[in-house]
DNA sequence: GCTCCATGGTTCGATATGGAACCAAGATAG
DNA sequence: CTATCTTGGTTCCATATCGAACCATGGAGC
């Protein structure tokens, strides 16, 4: 494979990393003090794909170590944004449920970002967003599948 | 602005965040143990845009607090990958230079990722990459410009 | 010159993240 | 049924990240 191809993929991931960093900063500026993106993302995940999942399943979805997820969930539970229940099917594991407070927290954060989104939308047309979304979803799925069958 | 528009932008940033996380994990698996993406990114930045910049300028380029950059640079200097010199123009600041060892470190890391890139390339065609790059660059520039003139 | 403010970096303390070791509960083999 | 292996989570420790306070130099106003 020629170098130029490698470097195109490399640049792609690089750009995505920078944009991720910039938007993370944007989001954290709108979250209540003391909360970070990782915690919001868990709530968002629970709403989007449904709750009642095990901590390990969530950790895998984010590709983070399970101990990191333990920590995030502890913070969220202390804040009353999620509930951890025993898994009746398996004595080892727990199930994670989002609370009403958690749903409100997520909705508020999204609302709080509206002005930021509006500024971005003014400079970055919606049709470009529409064009990007399917390709990026596909890339995410490729990376997701890749880690399951590595090397 | 209708909700659906906001949610498209929101989903875009969300996808980008996830891809960023997955590719960060990929990169870190290839770095020598103990090194982290942030440190590699600084070296990459110095090669791409040129060295001899101040720590603050680099911190701004990554949109990270200056104390975080102080830490990253300390690690890189201890490892002999960069050099910090006094700025002859300004007694307050320093200038950051990448060493030969630093250039080698960066090149090795990129080489080490080649097999990962190859697997991704097999499932994600190059022309899609080519299509994504200009749009993403534009989005990054929009976000970059936005933080300079916020609110 | 002197005062006041702005800028560039570091330090401190508190939280986040991740690797490794650990423990408990399920699964499997005999 | 026991021995062993695997799986789900937590704990421990080391490093990373970041807000706030701090210090030193530079620059502006007078």
pLDDT-based confidence at residue A144 (cuts at 50, 70, 90):
confident
Whether residue B88 is found in the same domain as residue B133: no
Tell me the whole-structure pTM to 2 decimals. Answer: 0.90
Task: Report if residue A108 sits inside a domain.
Answer: no
**Predicted pLDDT of residue A148:** 65
Task: Report if residue B87 sits inside a domain.
Answer: yes
Whether residue B13 is found in the same domain as residue B26: yes
Domain containing residue A70: CATH number? 1.10.10.10
Distance A88 CA to C30 C1' (A): 30
Whether the predicted pLDDT of B49 surpasses 50? yes
Kindly determine whether the C-beta of residue B39 is less than 7 Å away from any atom of nucleic acid strand D.
yes
Task: Report if residue A107 sits inside a domain.
Answer: no
> CB-hemisphere CA count at 13 Å for B82?
30
pLDDT-based confidence at residue B2 (cuts at 50, 70, 90):
low
Considering chain A, what percentage of its residues have pLDDT values greater than 90?
Answer: 85
Task: Report if residue A25 sits inside a domain.
Answer: yes
Q: B97 in helix, strand or coil?
A: strand
Looking at the structure of chain A, the number of domains it has is: 3
Domain interval for residue B40: 34-102
Task: Report if residue A1 sits inside a domain.
Answer: yes
Reported as a single tens digit per residue, the pLDDT across A11-62 is 999 999 999 999 999 999 999 999 999 999 999 999 999 999 999 999 999 9
- Candidates A56, A42, A122; CA nearest to A94 is A56
The CA distance from A73 to A57, in Å, is: 13
Residues of chain A with C-beta less than 8 angstroms from the C-beta of B122: none
Whether residue B13 is found in the same domain as residue B39: no
Kindly determine whether the C-beta of residue B32 is less than 7 Å away from any atom of nucleic acid strand D.
no
SS3 sequence, chain A? Answer: CCHHHHHHHHHHHHHHHHHHHHHHHHHHHHCCCCCCHHHHHHHHHHHHHCCCECHHHHHHHHCCCHHHHHHHHHHHHHCCCEEEEECCCCCCCEEEEECHHHHHHHHHHHHHCHHHHHHHHHHCCHHHHHHHHHHHHHHHHHHHHHHHCCC
* Pairwise CB contact (< 8 Å): B143 & A22: yes
| Longest alpha-carbon distance in chain A | 54
Task: Report if residue B126 sits inside a domain.
Answer: yes
Whether residue B17 is found in the same domain as residue B39: no
Task: Report if residue B132 sits inside a domain.
Answer: yes
Whether residue A22 is found in the same domain as residue A45: no
Window 65-104 of A: residues touching B by CB (8 A cutoff) are none
Reported as a single tens digit per residue, the pLDDT across B66-124 is 999 999 999 999 999 999 999 999 999 999 999 999 999 999 999 999 999 999 999 99
Whether residue A45 is found in the same domain as residue A81: yes
Whether the predicted pLDDT of A146 surpasses 90? no
H/E segment holding residue B83: strand B82-86
Query: What are the structure tokens assigned to B49, written together?
Result: 């845009």
Window 2-41 of B: residues touching A by CB (8 A cutoff) are 5-6, 8-27, 37, 41
Cβ of residue A49 closer than 8 Å to a chain B Cβ: no
Residues of chain A with C-beta less than 8 angstroms from the C-beta of B121: 1, 5, 9
Q: B25 in helix, strand or coil?
A: helix
The CA distance from A3 to B29, in Å, is: 21
> What is the total residue count of chain B?
151
Distance from CA of B68 to the nearest CA of A (A): 14
Whether residue B23 is found in the same domain as residue B70: no
Write out the E strands in B11-72: none
The CA distance from A8 to B117, in Å, is: 10
Whether residue B70 is found in the same domain as residue B84: yes
Whether residue A118 is found in the same domain as residue A92: no
The CA distance from B113 to B29, in Å, is: 9
Task: Report if residue A67 sits inside a domain.
Answer: yes
The CA distance from B43 to B107, in Å, is: 10
């Amino acid at each position: 494979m020629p170098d130029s191809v490698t470097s195109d993929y490399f640049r792609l991931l690089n750009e995505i990393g920078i944009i991720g960093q910039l938007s993370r900063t944007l989001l954290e500026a709108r979250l209540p003090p003391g909360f970070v993106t990782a915690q919001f993302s868990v709530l968002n995940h629970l709403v989007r794909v449904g709750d009642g999942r095990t901590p390990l399943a969530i950790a895998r979805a984010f590709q983070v170590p399970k101990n990191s997820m333990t920590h995030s969930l502890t913070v969220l539970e202390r804040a009353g944004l999620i509930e951890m229940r025993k898994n009746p099917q398996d004595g080892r594991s727990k199930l994670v449920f989002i609370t009403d407070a958690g749903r409100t927290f997520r909705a508020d954060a999204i609302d709080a970002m509206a002005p930021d989104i509006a500024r971005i939308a003014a400079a970055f047309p919606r049709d470009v967003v529409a064009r990007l979304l399917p390709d990026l979803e596909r890339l995410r799925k490729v990376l997701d599948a890749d880690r399951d069958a590595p090397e």
